[in-house]
Chain A
């Protein structure tokens, strides 16, 4: 999880999806579909296109498309400006689709977190916030 050379970390989440890459690609790149599973957006699958992801919690992510290889790879920046450096986030999200006999292997890598990052954006603000707040309290009380 740690890249000593650049002092950043990454998160990898993988899942077997029971649908072909072509269909998954639509969900990853068509704005109205992206909104249904990810966030409101003005995405276009063009390298260099700048767009925003707008969370239900009011936060806005600044994004720029870095790579588009239809049905295979999609990569964009995932930045969140914050005055407190500990919460300021510059990261890159890359989706990799690999066809399998049963559908698609989906791999998401989010890289660029600094070790000093206090809070993971999204994870902290979406549905998990309350949950993790509770867990923090619970674990703290456990000592």
Chain B
């Protein structure tokens, strides 16, 4: 699996981050403030998630005066529609569970 795939899967594996991204997909461009209002987490947390989404190429920011508007970059998702990537994503999720289990086995 390419590093780009790895980044995409890791970025979207977080439920809060995914929710922010899905909302941008559904509702279009939003400011941090607007996203925070319904994210269930604080503004700094939303900003942090947006930073990670931006690094992965999944969102773009557009400064407008004192506000910054964020929008989803759907083209970045194209590799994920490929089934081999789906399977890789499946195993990434399974490996997350495996690591959780290994932690519990320690105790």
A residues bordering B, Cβ < 8 Å? 1, 9, 11-15, 17-19, 23-24, 26-27, 33, 36-38, 106, 108, 110, 113, 117-124, 126-128, 131-132, 134-136, 138-139, 142
Instruction: Tell me the complex Cα distance, A135–B89, Å.
Output: 14
A11 touches B101 (CB 8 A): no
Within 8 A of A (CB), among B66-85: 74-75, 77-78, 80-81, 83-84
Within 8 A of A (CB), among B1-57: 1, 12, 18, 22, 25
B residues bordering A, Cβ < 8 Å? 1, 12, 18, 22, 25, 74-75, 77-78, 80-81, 83-84, 86-95, 97-102, 105-106
- What distance in Å separates the Cβ of B58 from its nearest Cβ neighbour in chain A? 11
- Chain B residues contacting A128 (CB-CB under 8 Å) are 86, 89-90, 93
A142 touches B86 (CB 8 A): no
Tell me the total A-B contact number using a CB cutoff of 8 A.
99
User: What are 17 of the A-B contact pairs (CB < 8 Å)?
Assistant: A11-B88, A13-B95, A19-B102, A27-B101, A33-B105, A37-B98, A38-B94, A38-B97, A118-B83, A119-B83, A121-B87, A123-B86, A123-B88, A128-B89, A132-B80, A135-B81, A136-B81
Q: Which residue of B lies closest to A9 (CB)?
A: B84
Q: Which residue of B lies closest to A15 (CB)?
A: B95
- Chain B residues contacting A118 (CB-CB under 8 Å) are 83
- Chain B residues contacting A121 (CB-CB under 8 Å) are 87
Q: Which 8 A-B pairs have the closest CB atoms?
A: A123-B90, A123-B86, A120-B87, A37-B97, A120-B86, A13-B91, A37-B98, A120-B83
- What distance in Å separates the Cβ of A67 from its nearest Cβ neighbour in chain B? 19
- What distance in Å separates the Cβ of B60 from its nearest Cβ neighbour in chain A? 14
- Chain B residues contacting A19 (CB-CB under 8 Å) are 102, 106
- Chain A residues contacting B100 (CB-CB under 8 Å) are 37
Instruction: Tell me the complex Cα distance, A69–B27, Å.
Output: 52
Instruction: Tell me the complex Cα distance, A20–B3, Å.
Output: 25
A36 touches B90 (CB 8 A): no
Q: Which residue of B lies closest to A118 (CB)?
A: B83
- Chain A residues contacting B101 (CB-CB under 8 Å) are 27, 33, 36-37
- What distance in Å separates the Cβ of A106 from its nearest Cβ neighbour in chain B? 7
Q: Which of B22, B78, B91, B105 contacts A23 (CB 8 A)?
A: B105
